[in-house]
Structure 1
């Protein structure tokens, strides 16, 4: 079953034709309606690790902001005009 919430086939049960393992993980080649094929990452299916309840943690957002500020040349704790 496709479980990725943003995949157009989310909630559909598909027939797995074969598996393919790459450096980036396990992929499933599945049949859609007996007419076409789709390749899905294991994480996008019910055979993958379930997604967490929270998409972003506060610590991750804080770290991301620090990186963005560093890239933009801003110093921590200061406010730029237009912010």
Structure 2
């Protein structure tokens, strides 16, 4: 499991089977204690390599501008804290 934010990140899981879902492929894996977990192939080491940076500094700056505008709009209407 390579998806860094998943609770099972870094663990090796046994793949029970794979199937198509929503135009992609998922693995159904043994999660222990008789349970299973379904994972997109992209979240595993069998999928494409993950990008190091999900958002560029420029994208984060643009996002900050949007968030600030939303907060200002709420404050102008008396909805902000």
TM range (shorter): 0.5 to 0.7
Alignment match, 2:32: 33
**2:13 equivalent to 1:14:** yes
Helix, strand or coil at the partner of 2:26: strand
**Superposed structure 1 runs of 4+ greater than 3 Å apart:** 62-74
Question: Could you say which structure has the higher helix fraction?
Answer: 2
Per-residue deviation, 1:71: 6.5
Per-residue deviation, 1:64: 3.4
Structure 1 residues 72 and 25, CA gap change in structure 2 (3 angstroms): farther
What is the aligned-residue RMSD (CA, Å)? 2.3
- With the length of structure 2 as denominator, give the TM-score of the two structures: 0.67
- With the length of structure 1 as denominator, give the TM-score of the two structures: 0.66
Aligned length: 73
